[in-house]
Chain A
Amino acid sequence: SSELTQDPAVSVALGQTVRITCQGDSLRSYYASWYQQKPGQAPVLVIYGKNNRPSGIPDRFSGSSSGNTASLTITGAQAEDEADYYCNSRDSSGNHSFGTGTKVTVL
């Protein structure tokens, strides 16, 4: 499975916008999905496909992709968005990879 690289940590002021990126060769062919994980909890899917949100995920979460880079944007970050975020994709063999993870701090 191919590697997916994320920045280790980002911070954002309350109410501002933050973009988290994920880079990997598989992203040229397959969409990333994005997961939010809070301490002691299981990951939660927040974005999948081109830019789809599961039921219950606020519309401040959005996704995009260009070349080998996928992005998750939080527009108007809230205190409850402070968490670790992971991207995920599969490759042409059907094998999956998760990104290295980004810790988002809301100031």
Chain B
Amino acid sequence: QITLKESGPTLVKPTQTLTLTCTFSGFSLSTSGVGVGWIRQPPGKALEWLALIYWNDDKRYSPSLKSRLTITKDTSKNQVVLTMTNMDPVDTATYYCAHSGSSGRNFDYWGQGTLVTVSS
């Protein structure tokens, strides 16, 4: 079965860079049509899409956050890494990674999420 799990720091300071890792199993990110995305959710607020990387290394970023985001994949390790620079308290959120098996049309499997707090 497909599973995903996010890992990374729970607390970062303002201006620091956040690095999150999504470790997955049950699928390969070298299979045509497969992608892994990152979505976040501030406490009590709506979901916000951040980035998506495809099997062919095509990448998409939220236009409003593009300058701060980098998404990469390590197919051999079954991992996708998201970095976000210049963290601010408004970036406090639960960060989810999710599988897309339909060329990016939807997100059919999600990780449990990891809460990242930005505070000095």
Contact = CB atoms under 8 A, between A and B. Distances in A.
B52 A42 contact: no
A30 to B, nearest CB: 8
Interface residues of A, number: 25
B112 A42 contact: yes
B50 to A, nearest CB: 9
A98 B46 CA distance: 8
Interface in A70-96: 86, 88, 90, 93-96
A15 interface: no
Interface of B is mostly: loop
A54 B108 contact: yes
Interface in B85-120: 96, 102, 104-108, 110-113
A18 interface: no
B62 interface: yes
Contacts of B62: 1, 95-96
